[in-house]
């Protein structure tokens, strides 16, 4: 049996699987956290203006609502731009595989799931089933593939994940889900140029581009189109290009490993931010800092200390920069606006960034992925040394966010709520999601005009 056939069979079984109380609770936490991330992204007026221009421009349509602008776009446009909003704030969750292969953002899928829920008028139970399938696939592909060493984006497999999820929702048979994967594979894989060199805001669009291709793959499969078999294991299949392990779905993904973010930044910046905030009260004045050394592990260094990390020129570049995040947290408590251009030009911030060194420490690399250790050492101008370290960021399963802390995250970023009662109602209904006959109460607020 070819791998795409094995995956299609498992996906059909997953979509029919009865979810127990523990799994439903895990999924509800993730959906609530992801909703907060989407709300955070809706702060971004410039991105919303791009949405407005897109759905008012060439080849526009009026099939689905586009969030934040109170306009409708074509199926493709709405699915693409709404999917961006799961990631734009960089508050999204992360799954790091226990075998040190890949990493994925499961909560990318929640924005897509909400678009599909709106399109297909899902109830709460159907949304839970959809998100479960998406998260399971994300974790499975993240455990199987490690795209970045081969210069592909960590989202390279998201085209398959999105295509399978959309195919399920649109009613594809098992045989059609095999075709969905083959067609998606022929559309190509995301290269890693979005994350290297001068990072642009396309970094926040990589999953959305996969969702766009996934929609087209599902539509083509439903129409009867066929694509070459052995899309993964053939002589020119995906496995030739992406480093991978021997077996898929083994061991089964553990969705309890998902890391939630407290700060709107790269997952590998979370521990450095936490430590910097711990150190900040111990520093009389940031101007007294002579130097800062951040010791981290290889994958964090590779993703957060690129050449452009000391002079990032975009929001994505700043949220993915360890020196930028550390300097920000040493000066103040981190907020969404700290990664926007006005704050990035602050002379005190720029000066402090230039005094930061990021080191790839072999001992910390050995501890990963069991631990996400980071050590920060400050040297003050009077010769005083201050040191602090953490094994995990707050939000990691090793130091998890409580249910109440996830609620507080939603309350913080749901800035366009009509009032506190609306926030409370959404939180209450999310905890009882399987009882909800429709999802208008969750999706309608996202459609408000915020520009």
Q: CB under 8 Å to 121, separation ≥6 — which residues? A: 438
Same domain assignment for residues 139 and 173: yes
User: What's residue 17's pLDDT?
Assistant: 87
* CATH code (residue 350): 3.30.1330.120
User: What's residue 307's pLDDT?
Assistant: 85
Q: How confident is the model at residue 199 (pLDDT cuts 50, 70, 90)?
A: confident
Last residue of one domain, picked from the residues 223, 257, 291: 257
Q: What b/e sequence results for 406-441 when a residue is b if at least 16 CB atoms lie within 10 Å of its CB, and e otherwise?
A: bbebbbebbeebeeeeebeebbeebbebbebeebee
Same domain assignment for residues 57 and 112: yes
Same domain assignment for residues 247 and 320: no
Q: How confident is the model at residue 198 (pLDDT cuts 50, 70, 90)?
A: confident
Flag whether 420 is in a domain: no
Same domain assignment for residues 74 and 213: yes
Same domain assignment for residues 212 and 70: yes
Flag whether 438 is in a domain: no
Same domain assignment for residues 247 and 311: no
Whether pLDDT at 195 is above 90: no
The three-class DSSP label of residue 240 is helix
User: What's residue 369's pLDDT?
Assistant: 87
Same domain assignment for residues 144 and 177: yes
The mean per-residue pLDDT over the stretch 195-223 comes to 93
Count of the separate structural domains present in the chain: 2
Flag whether 422 is in a domain: no
- The boundaries of the domain holding residue 313 are 267-390
Flag whether 408 is in a domain: no
DSSP label at 373? -
Same domain assignment for residues 161 and 66: yes
Last residue of one domain, picked from the residues 354, 369, 390: 390
Q: What are phi and psi of 357, to 5 degrees?
A: -120, 135
Same domain assignment for residues 101 and 158: yes
Same domain assignment for residues 162 and 280: no
Count CB-CB contacts under 10 A for residue 237: 19
Same domain assignment for residues 38 and 64: yes
Flag whether 61 is in a domain: yes
Last residue of one domain, picked from the residues 390, 407, 442: 390
Flag whether 13 is in a domain: yes
Flag whether 407 is in a domain: no
pLDDT in tens, 364-417: 999 998 899 999 999 999 999 999 999 999 999 999 999 999 999 999 999 999
Flag whether 34 is in a domain: yes
Same domain assignment for residues 365 and 239: no
pLDDT in tens, 261-276: 999 999 999 999 999 9
How many angstroms separate the Cα of 202 from the Cα of each of 27, 365, 415, 424?
A: 28, 29, 25, 34
């Amino acid at each position: 049996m070819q791998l795409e056939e094995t995956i299609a069979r498992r996906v059909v079984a997953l979509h029919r699987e009865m979810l127990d109380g523990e799994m439903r609770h895990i999924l509800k936490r993730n959906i609530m956290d992801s909703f907060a991330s989407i709300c955070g992204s809706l702060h971004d007026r410039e991105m919303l203006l791009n949405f407005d221009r897109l759905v008012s421009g060439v080849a526009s349509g009026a099939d689905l609502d586009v969030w934040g602008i109170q306009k409708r776009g074509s199926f493709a446009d709405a699915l693409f731009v709404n999917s961006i909003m799961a990631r734009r704030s960089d508050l999204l969750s992360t799954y790091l595989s226990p075998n040190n292969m890949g990493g994925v953002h499961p909560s990318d899928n929640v924005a897509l799931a909400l678009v599909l829920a709106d399109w297909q008028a899902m109830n709460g139970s159907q949304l839970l089933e959809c998100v479960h399938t998406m998260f399971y696939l994300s974790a499975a592909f993240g455990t199987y593939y490690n795209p970045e060493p081969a210069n592909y984006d960590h989202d390279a497999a998201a085209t398959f994940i999105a295509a399978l999820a959309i195919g399920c929702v649109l009613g594809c048979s098992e045989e059609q889900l095999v075709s969905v994967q083959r067609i998606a594979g022929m559309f190509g894989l995301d290269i890693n140029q979005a994350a290297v060199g001068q990072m642009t805001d396309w970094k926040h669009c990589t999953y959305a581009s996969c969702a766009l291709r996934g929609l087209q793959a599902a539509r083509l499969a439903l129409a009867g189109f066929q694509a070459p078999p052995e899309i993964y294991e053939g002589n020119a299949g995906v496995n030739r290009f992406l480093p991978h392990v021997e077996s898929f779905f083994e061991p089964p993904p553990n969705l309890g490993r998902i890391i939630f973010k407290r700060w709107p930044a790269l997952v590998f910046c979370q521990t450095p931010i936490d430590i910097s905030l711990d150190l900040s009260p111990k520093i009389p004045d940031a101007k007294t800092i002579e130097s800062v050394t951040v010791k981290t592990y290889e994958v964090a260094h590779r993703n957060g200390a690129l050449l452009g990390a000391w002079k990032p020129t975009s929001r994505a570049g700043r949220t993915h920069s360890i020196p930028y995040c550390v300097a920000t947290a040493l000066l103040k408590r981190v907020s969404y606006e700290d990664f926007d251009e006005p704050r990035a030009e602050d002379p005190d911030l720029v000066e402090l960034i230039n005094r930061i060194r990021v080191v790839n420490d072999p001992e910390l690399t050995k501890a990963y992925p069991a631990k996400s250790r980071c050590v920060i050492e400050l040297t003050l101008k009077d010769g005083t040394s201050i040191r602090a370290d953490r094994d995990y960021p707050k939000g990691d399963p090793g130091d998890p966010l409580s249910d109440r802390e996830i609620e507080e995250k939603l309350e913080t970023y749901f800035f366009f709520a009509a009032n506190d009662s609306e926030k409370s109602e959404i939180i209450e209904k999310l905890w009882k999601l399987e009882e909800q006959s429709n999802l208008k109460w969750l999706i309608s607020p996202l459609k408000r005009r915020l520009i």
